[in-house]
Structure formats: C-alpha cells, structure tokens
Amino acid sequence: MSRFTKFAFVAALAAVGLGLSGPSVQAQTLRIAMTASDIPTVGGIPDNGSEGYRFTGFPVYDALVNWDFSKTDQPADLTPGLATEWKADPEEPRKWIFKLRKGVKFHDGTDFTADAAMWNFDRIFNDKAANYDSAQAAIVRVSLPMLEKYEKLDDDTLVLWTKKPFSPFPYLITRVLFVSPTQFAKVGGKWVDFGKQPAGTGPFKVTKVTQRVSIEMARNEDYWDKARVPKLEKLVLVPMPEATTRLAALRSGQVDWIEVPPPDAIPSLKSAGFQISLKPYPHLWPWVLSVADNSPFKDKRVRQALNYAIDRDGLVALLNGTAKPATGFYDPTYPAFGKPKTTYNFDPAKAKALLKEAGFGPDKPVKAKIMISTSGSGQMMPIPMNEFLQQNLKEAGFDIEYNVVDWGTMLVAFRNPPTAAMSQGSHAVNISLPFSDPTNIYRFFHSSAMPPNGSNWGVTNDPIVDKALDEAFNTFDPAKRDELLGKANAQIVDEAYWLFIVHDLNPRAMTAKVKGFVPAQSWFQDLTQVTVVK
C-alpha cells in the first residue's frame, strides 16, 4: 500500500466514523468502498468515468431520460426521468420533443422548470454562457457531438435538434444531468463551490464532501418517484483504489460493500459468509488500438496476430471466473453481435505466422506502448491482467511496454487523438468500455466520431462500418437496427480493430447485513432499494 493510500484510507475511516457508530446507526447506513483513486466530482457531471455516474451521478441527479433498473433479467433500457415522454417529429426526424415532468423539486426546494433545463444545457453546450463549465462540457460533449441546438417550446416542452436523423438519441440524453440554478447562484456562481454544496433532483442528496476522503449522502424524502425513495438514511462513499485495502476494510467491518474484490479472495469471502455478486452486463475490457500511421497496429495482420496470441480462458481462470472471454465489441449473446467470419481463439502458431507475413519475427518483435491504469471504473485488476497478457504476447513475438497512469489521466487521453500529447506516445489504451446502449459503437468506431467529436481514439476509418452505423441510426425499427449494428460489429471483429479480451461480470462483495440489492445488467445500479440490517 502506498504512503498516500494508507493516509487516505485512515483519514477516510476517521472522517466518516467507519466502524465507530452504534448498531442502530449502522443499520441505516451503507458504506461503499469504490475503486476510484479519488472521490468523483458531484457538481452535476461526474468525473471518474462510469463509476462516477454510478455513485455521484444517477443517485444524486436525474436526466430527461433515466435508466430503468427494474428489469434485471435483461440489459437495462430507458425509462422516463425529468421528461415524461419524448418522440422524434415524423415530419422532421432531427427534431426531438420532450415533455417535462411537473412538480419536481431540486434538493434546495426550488422547482425544476423548462428554464432550469435550458440553463443546464447552456452550462455544457454554450461556451458564451456565464454558467458554462468547460470541465463538465468535455465529459458530456464527447457523447453528444450530434446535438445541434436546443430550445424551449413552452413551459412544459423542450425541443432538441440533432445534426442528422439519429434514432437512438434518447440514450445519449442520459448523460445530461440537471442541477439547481438557484443553488449555483447561492454558492457564488462558481462550479468549484457548487461541488461542495450541490443540489440535484435525485433520490439521494449530498450532505458532506471531504476531498480525497469521502462523500456522504442522505435520503431525499421528497423524491418525485415514490417507489424509489431510498430505504437507507445515509450512503457513504470512500475511494480505495487498491484491492487489498478494500478487502481489509470489508473484512474488518469498516465498510459494508466493496467494488471488485480481489479474485483470489472470493472463495474465502464466501466461506466467511460474505455475499459475492456476479452478473453479466454490457461491458468490454479491451485494448483500444490506434491505427494511425505511426502505430504498429495499422497493419491488420498485426492486429489479428494480437487477438490470436492471448489466452482468454487462462485470464478468466486467473480472475477466478469473474469475467468471460470476449471475441468482439459485443458479447455473442447480444442481439447486435452479427456474424463475424473470424473467431479469435488462443493460437500462438497462427499469431506467429501472421507476424512473419507482416515482416516480424524472433529477431524483430513488434514493439508497442500501451497505456494502462492502476485502477478505475470497470478496470477490474489491470496490473496483474496486463502482466498476464504481456507474457502471452512476448511468446508470440510482441515486445510490449506499459505506460502506467492514473485513471483520470487515461480518461483525458481518451478524449484526445492518439497523436496528442495526452496519449504520451501510446499505441493502444486499455480502457474498459460499455455497450449499454446502441450509440456506444458509433462513438467508438464511426469515422466522424474521432476526438474531439467522439471516442474513436483509435481513429478507425472503415467505410463498411460507417455505412452500417449510418443506416442503423437512421432507422427507428429496433430489430433492423440490431441487424445493421451486427454488420458493423462483424466488420470490426474481422478487421481486429481492437484487442478483444474479456467481458467483466461486475463483481462486488458485501456483508451478509446488506439486503435488497438486485444487480442490474448495467454499469449503473439502483441503490434505493438496499438496506443494511442489524
């Protein structure tokens, strides 16, 4: 454990009183150890990737369209949030009409209105507005490059325009979370101060923020969705990036729940009576490969050799079954997987043959620099996992160098081109990514979505992929859209644009006292139904 981590861990325990409260208080409080190296921001658009949205995004705020966690036997889909309904104008499919929910109040007691909604769009999309926040804008705009304009039609209606017809547009609106304009003015009109005393409309409200230590939340008794008023009185979030630290905190009773327990500790945790939660969800742990001119992965044969050179089953065994092998962007059970011609199994001989064909061999290995993180949202166990892959790849003819960075540094790099200084000369980025909505494949692979217009960090430019995605997002028929997305995924697999490694099974461990948690098939989870018994 690093000196800083030890200090932060001890400070966290002291600051939030972990383990010091009596049983009656503990029974109303859930204490979660996150994988994040710092507390996610709480100013309305959280940093720390999807873990930020999981813990300080959706619990505290609502979007016009929320995620539906009620159907846990299938991937989470959309449900009305601050908008009760939405539709694309059949005469002008670029025009989306959102009817706003009445009677919603922010945590400060003020009303959510159409004017408040417009103010929130300005803070992200209008760099001339007094409330514009470039940091929050950078996080959202990479997901919403196709938003052209927004306008208030009347007190109950917003109209959002896309640059071209884009049928899954409502999925993207989940990224825009709404904060109180009144509270922003009350704290002096500065986002850094709003982040210390925020106000949203969500089921939990932030009561205390201790930088680098913890976030404390309380139940929002007045939440508009009465079925999701939290059963907990208090929620405490503590950043603990090191898996062994999280494990020690759980075993000693200092927290009730940890994200991503060490895989080798799972059998002993089970035997000691702890709960282990595993469930497939739309998630991929890949290497995103740059195909820029300066990258060895520009050559398709090298990319394919990379995919044949790794032992996915061996890696799953190392992870004690907390993941499953990945052979494409989507999982094969997903309706949009399609019919790729290629299936990547562990075949070192084939990998070596492909490298030889590409001009490499024992005396001339493929040299590549890969950016990996120490921890982070959905990153699982990045150091030992990448060490395992490094050995696989060395035997096949690759000389892999790792550039180990903090999770936040990686997120910034991924929002910029691979040739930018932020990428530090890396030829690939090991960043875990969702496919929880159909727009993700567009953001990661369409040629128009290269940074800063999206998350196509690898600068993939494939006419077959582009055509399939354009057609998919021009249709409002979900089955037809899945068929077209399948064509795009098949091409992505056959061209080996990424190194497809594993799909995470969303592991977490908790004490037997935690009740009511039913994992959703989503990066995001519903904490409103959870209780902690005596």
Q: Is 350 found in the same domain as 463?
A: yes
Instruction: Give the end of a domain, one of 122, 153, 182.
Output: 182
Same domain, 332 and 431: yes
CA–CA gap between residue 264 and residue 277 (Å, rounded): 15
The CATH number linked to 518 is 3.40.190.10
Q: Are residues 321 and 443 in the same domain?
A: yes
- What are the residues whose beta carbons fall under 8 Å from the beta carbon of 218, sequence distance 6 or more? 204, 205, 207, 233, 234, 235
Q: Which residues form the domain of 250?
A: 1-60+202-279+507-534
In a domain, 190, yes or no: no
* Within-domain flag for 311: yes
| pLDDT at site 377 | 76
- The reply to whether 415 and 481 lie within a common domain is yes
Within a domain: residue 195?
no
- pTM as predicted: 0.84
The CATH number of residue 69's host domain is: 3.90.76.10
Is position 187 within any domain?
A: no
Determine what percent of the chain falls in helix, strand and coil, rounding each to the nearest 5: 35, 20, 45
| Same domain for 406 and 299 | yes
The pLDDT assigned to 50 comes to: 83
* Residue at 194 is within a domain: no
- Do 18 and 33 lie in a common domain? yes
Residue 7 shares a structural domain with residue 130: no
**One domain, residues 233 and 113:** no
In total, the chain counts a number of residues equal to: 534
Q: Which amino acid is at 210?
A: T
Q: Is 429:410 a contact under the CB 8 Å cutoff? A: yes
Where helices occur in 366-462 by DSSP H, the ranges are 382-396, 407-414, 439-445
Domain contains 177: yes
Taking the CA atoms of the chain, what radius of gyration do you get in angstroms?
23
pLDDT in tens, the chain (534 residues): 343 344 444 444 544 444 434 444 445 899 999 998 889 999 999 998 888 999 999 999 999 999 999 888 888 999 999 999 999 999 999 999 999 999 999 999 999 999 999 999 999 999 999 999 999 999 998 888 889 999 999 999 999 999 989 999 999 999 999 999 999 999 999 999 999 999 999 999 999 999 889 999 999 999 999 999 999 999 999 999 999 999 999 999 999 999 999 999 999 999 999 999 998 888 999 999 999 999 999 999 999 999 999 999 999 999 999 999 999 999 998 889 999 999 999 999 999 999 999 999 889 999 999 999 998 778 888 999 999 999 999 999 999 999 999 988 999 999 899 999 999 999 999 999 888 888 889 999 999 999 988 899 999 999 999 999 999 999 999 999 999 999 999 999 999 999 999 999 989 999 999 999 999 999 899 999 999 997
Give strand ranges (E) for 462-523. 498-504, 508-510, 514-515
Q: How far is the C-alpha of 338 from the C-alpha of 328, rounded, in Å?
A: 10
| Residue among 270, 255, 353 nearest 304 (CA) | 353
Residue with tokens 């630290």: 245
pLDDT given at position 24: 41
Largest CA distance in the chain: 70
250 and 337, same domain (yes or no): no
Give CA–CA dist 88/348, Å, rounded: 50
Is the separation of the CB atoms in 324 and 316 below 8 Å? yes
Exposed, middle or buried: residue 338 (CB in 10 Å: 0-12, 13-18, 19+)? buried
Q: How many domains does the chain have?
A: 3
**Residue 496: CATH number of its domain:** 3.10.105.10
First vs last Cα of the chain: how many Å apart? 32
Same domain, 386 and 534: no
Q: Same domain for 92 and 212?
A: no
DSSP letters of 196-215? TS---SSSEEEEEEETTTEE
CA distance 207 to 378: 27
- The confidence score (pLDDT) of residue 27 equals 53
pLDDT value of residue 7: 40
Question: What pLDDT score was predicted for residue 459?
Answer: 97
**Is position 349 within any domain?**
yes
Q: Which of 148, 182, 216 is the last residue of a domain?
A: 182
528 in any annotated domain: yes
Same domain, 290 and 268: no
